[in-house]
Amino acid sequence: MAELLKYLIVQGQPPARTRKSCETQNPLIFNLLQGMPMSLAIIFSRAKLGINAPQVTVEVHLSNGLPGLSIVGLPETAVKESKDRVRSAILNSHLEFPARRITVNLAPADLPKDGGRFDLPIALGILAASGQIPREPLANYEFLGELALSGELRSLNAALPAALACGDAKRDLIISTANAQEAALSSITRVFGAENLLQVCAHLHGREHLFQATPPASPERLAPKLDIRDVKGQWQAKRALEIAASGGHNLLLYGPPGTGKTMLASRLPGILPSLSEREMLDVAAIYSVAAQQPDHNMHLRPFRAPHHTASAIALVGGGSYPRPGEISLAHGGVLFLDELPEFSRHVLEVLREPLESGEVRISRARAQASYPARFQLVAAMNPCPCGYQGSDQRPCRCSPDQIRRYRDRISGPLLDRIDMHVLVTALRQGEMHAHASGDSSADIRTRVEQTRSRQLARQGKTNSQLSAPELEQVCYLKETDRQLLDQAINKLGLSTRAYHRVLKLARTLADMAGREQLTTGDITEALSYRTLDRARA
């Protein structure tokens, strides 16, 4: 009998052998226990931790004692409040809320849980433990959803990361219909959308079947609204944009006000290759965690342009529960910083590590999170405080000390990480009235895709992501070219990092021309884009 009672408490109905033994020894007690409902139910769900979705096992146990509901497992306030939402949702769905002592454990116990995403699994656990829904199908599903008091399912954020993790675990996902299409972007996961708690119960009973969500139709890539052909003149800056797009290089445009720096930078996404399926999922997952809708065509790479008053947390992310910042929202695309020296120096310095590593790690007392941040930095600035140093339009009124202090707002280590410094001059009077001409964004994008395909075939990544050992393998230098670079290092005071940036840029120039071997022309052109290093020297 002790064996039977132990099994009932932990697993529910006993196996046939134990049941037969108990029936022989004590038929009366066996008949009473035979109708006893299972008091423990296990439901699978997902937490939110950066763009990851660790599994959470929701264990619900019903026991004798004063009626009540307690939740353990490091729940935050919103999770603790779910007991009131769950009770009302069950009752308003015309189901029975058991008048027993209910204990809900969210395992693992050391993982913080926040939000209302566990309302649905907690409700289903209570219903399964009290025998109102079958327990057998539960092992094949994971559940996410916030419950309204009426039993309706509300939308939540970070649905796509949960769907991806659910597919990896070989389970189906049941979620609110408001999140179903987003979650269905995961091609490895079967996603079912539900309007309310009763629909989920009917699906588990097999009486009605929830609809299987399909991902939204992928729109064709349209011609970009901002075409680089619309920019008059500025041939050097246009070439710099194509080089930056071809190798994924960081770019700094500087020049007098009104010369078209912002106009040029905003057209960079139109000449970048389309996002791959994996990159598109990564970008969509970041926006899902941030509870934002992408403001760009999903085929186009994101373009983020925060104001210069943005804080360091707004740029890299943070908060009590770390959320992605602008550099993560620009993952796979472009981060444009206009009026670069106007940003706080402290804010700019936080960009240094993500520019190298391609990710940002945020640590807080309550949680730690890691977000991808492989973005392409494009910045714009004036050459001096008044903006007209070297301009033919009006004289500069700034003293040398003012110009030095203005440029010193950008630290040397950050400037080292920017591959190209390009001067954008004012248009001549004849160019201003001429019709826009030159290659369209679509034409340039075709050449960029061809250049990148060479890089991916050779090394599996763009030139800007090459490490120092990889760079030595793909950049063979002749002795005369080595001497040229040594002279440039001595004259301009280039750091080792800047030296590697020059080599990466030269490698891209050779790829654009379809050459395997670097030439002296590639190296001299790459050095010509280190103009601000020359000014500091």
What is the pLDDT, as a whole number, of residue 4? Answer: 43
Give the residue extent of every domain in the chain.
37-212, 228-465, 466-537
Phi, psi angle pair for 16, to nearest 5°? -60, -40
Is the pLDDT at 109 greater than 80? The verdict is yes
Q: Are 195 and 145 within 8 A, CB to CB? A: no
Q: Residue 204: how many CB atoms within 10 A of its CB?
A: 20
Query: The tokens of 497 are what?
Result: 């990092």
Q: How far apart are CA 105 and CA 245, in angstroms?
A: 50
- Which of 70-74, 118-122, 202-206, 216-220 has the lowest average pLDDT? 216-220
pLDDT digits (tens, 9 = 90+) for 426-439: 887 666 667 767 88
pLDDT digits (tens, 9 = 90+) for 121-174: 999 999 999 999 999 999 999 999 999 999 999 999 999 999 999 999 999 999
Provide DSSP, 58-105: EEEEEESSS-EEEEESSB-HHHHTHHHHHHHHHHHTT----SSEEEEE
Provide DSSP, 405-458: HHHTTS-HHHHHT--EEEE-PPPPHHHHHSPP-S--HHHHHHHHHHHHHHHHHH
Q: Report, as an integer, the average pLDDT of 211-221.
A: 76
Is the pLDDT at 27 greater than 80? The verdict is no
Q: Report, as an integer, the average pLDDT of 374-394.
A: 90
Strand partners, 361: 370
Instruction: Mark residue 438 as left, alpha or beta (left: phi above 0; alpha: psi -120 to 50; beta: remaining).
Output: left
Strand partners, 334: 303, 376
Is the pLDDT at 19 greater than 50? The verdict is no
Is the pLDDT at 537 greater than 70? The verdict is no
pLDDT digits (tens, 9 = 90+) for 474-530: 988 899 999 999 998 888 888 889 999 999 999 999 999 999 999 999 999 999 999
Assign a CATH topology to domain 228-465: Rossmann fold (3.40.50)
Is the pLDDT at 420 greater than 90? The verdict is yes
36 band by pLDDT with thresholds 50, 70 and 90: very low
What is the pLDDT, as a whole number, of residue 20? Answer: 44
Q: In what order do the strands lie in the sheet with 211-212?
A: 141-143, 172-176, 191-194, 211-212
Query: The tokens of 175 are what?
Result: 């979620």
User: In this structure, which CATH number among 3.40.47.10, 2.40.50.1020, 3.30.565.10, 3.30.230.10 belongs to the domain 37-212?
Assistant: 3.30.230.10
Q: How far apart are CA 157 and CA 200, in angstroms?
A: 20
What is the pLDDT, as a whole number, of residue 533? Answer: 75
Share the mean pLDDT of the chain.
87
Q: Report, as an integer, the average pLDDT of 336-343.
A: 95
- Which of 35-39, 93-97, 151-155, 402-406 has the lowest average pLDDT? 35-39
264 band by pLDDT with thresholds 50, 70 and 90: very high
Q: How far apart are CA 51 and CA 162, in angstroms?
A: 9
**pTM (whole model) above 0.75:** yes
Q: How far apart are CA 264 and CA 280, in angstroms?
A: 25
Q: How far apart are CA 28 and CA 22, in angstroms?
A: 10
pLDDT digits (tens, 9 = 90+) for 181-201: 999 999 899 999 999 999 999
